[in-house]
Amino acid sequence: MVKKDILKSLIMEFYIWKLPEVIDRDITLPSDSNKIISVVGPRRTGKTYLLFQHIHRLLKNGLPKEKCFYLNFEDERLDLTNNELDLILQVYRELYPDIDLSECYFFFDEVQNVDGWERFVRRIYDSISKNVFITGSNSKLLGEEIATSLRGRTIKYKVLPLSFKEFLRFKRFVFNSKRDLYDSGKKSRLINMFSEYFIYGGFPEIVFLSEDLKIKTIQEYFEVMIYRDIAERYGIKDTLVLKYFLKRLVENTTKNLSVYKIYNELKSQGMKVGKDTLYKYLDYVQNVYMIKLLKKHHHSIIKTEFAEKKVYLIDNGFLKSIRAMGREDFGILLENMVFHELSCKYDNIVYFKGRKECDFVLDDNIVLQVCYDLSNPETAKREIEGLKEACKYFGKNKGYIITYDEKYHINENGIDIFVLPAYDLAVTGSLE
């Protein structure tokens, strides 16, 4: 059978192939969870390499490579229907008849490319091996439907663009925050690297590209997300409206989002689209992890869900490559970057708005503003007043203002305010 021969070639290629060296991410996948491990996230964020990272660890701990089964379902040579998925197991047994499959680890990369993958993966998990790992970049696999598809058998791990700490690791730059902040040479290198991360973001491939290729590559990522992950997946034919909608989301980064306002703009330009369609587009864009919405704090859960929300892009590189940004927009870049850093560490993030506004409240416990530069007295007064109001509301006696490169401490009406540079937060991973 031709398909069997192709499968045998793909399987043997993996065993002959030397696994690429990997730079460890902060995420570590579990080995014996007795759950299907689902690795999800935007395109080009390193989901496949996270699988390789785990395979490296298994091999280092003594597992024979033949007991690690890896298959990339995006390989153009692999053309299986849902009725042919069992060929994978048949071929594996023919190649390694003496191996007990219950001891094997199965890694299925981009598994959503074959219809019926859910039943196949469930069957392996239920009757063959508890060691199953899958990745996917399709919006269906990225969304909440994955829990339904695998019926409580899975634990989901989300892979996002690099944090700044991971970025430094990719650059092979070791920085000890307690010691090296006082080394002018190392601190200067740190700030230079932070500037690069600040502008171009943390997609892993971008770290190693020359400056002239960074923006072009990120623009390509954006186009693929639009046409393949959204338009193709959801059958959107009028991509002109979709692209306009995305452009407006990018322009509204760190600001309150009004779908109704965008609807009226389109209507005034003679573009026919319903408000419900735009709300669907908003869901699609979140499904592929292009944006994340930040909710406003309310005591009422219902009010929080339906209140106005702010828009943040998944990576600063998207902002810089899609939207023309001058120095006057650096505050937007900084706030977007800080939100990405915080969302890697905190699950519960909201913004506060009373008489004044405060950018982030973390776990109802940490109150935080972001401001690129506090040198203007009016700007400093506005940020401090917003922070003080939020601190009083949440009963806190301290808060933080994250800047680009300022560090000092002040006390305002009994509230300790710590002004910190963003690279300090990013390197230490802590506000303390």
Task: Output the tens digit of pLDDT for each of the chain's 432 residues.
Answer: 589 999 999 999 999 999 999 999 999 999 989 999 999 888 899 999 999 999 999 999 999 999 999 999 989 999 899 899 999 999 999 999 999 999 999 999 988 888 889 999 999 999 999 999 999 766 556 555 676 778 889 998 999 999 999 999 999 999 987 788 778 899 999 999 999 999 999 999 999 999 989 999 999 999 999 998 899 889 998 899 999 999 999 999 999 999 999 999 999 999 889 999 999 999 999 988 899 999 999 877 777 777 889 999 999 999 989 888 888 899 999 999 999 999 988 989 999 999 999 999 999 899 999 999 999 999 999 999 999 999 999 999 999 999 999 999 999 999 999 999 999 888 877 776
CA dist., res. 374 & res. 66, Å (int):
58
Q: Which helix (H) or strand (E) holds 368?
A: strand 366-370
Q: Pairing between strand 408-412 and 415-421?
A: antiparallel
The residues, any chain, with a CB within 8 Å of residue 200's CB and separated by 6 or more, are: 206, 214, 215, 218, 316, 317, 320
Q: What is the pLDDT of residue 141?
A: 60
Using CB atoms within 10 Å of the CB of residue 239, give its burial: 0 to 12 exposed, 13 to 18 middle, 19+ buried. Answer: middle
pLDDT of residue 155: 92
Res 99: pLDDT:
96
Unique residue bearing structure tokens 């708005």: 353
CB atoms inside a 10 Å sphere around CB 321:
23
Distances (CA, A) of 268 to 134, 180, 239, 259, 339: 45, 56, 18, 14, 34
Angle between helices 184-200 and 330-343 (to 10 degrees): 100
Q: Taking the model in full, what pTM does it have?
A: 0.92
Query: Helix, strand or coil for residue 136?
Result: strand
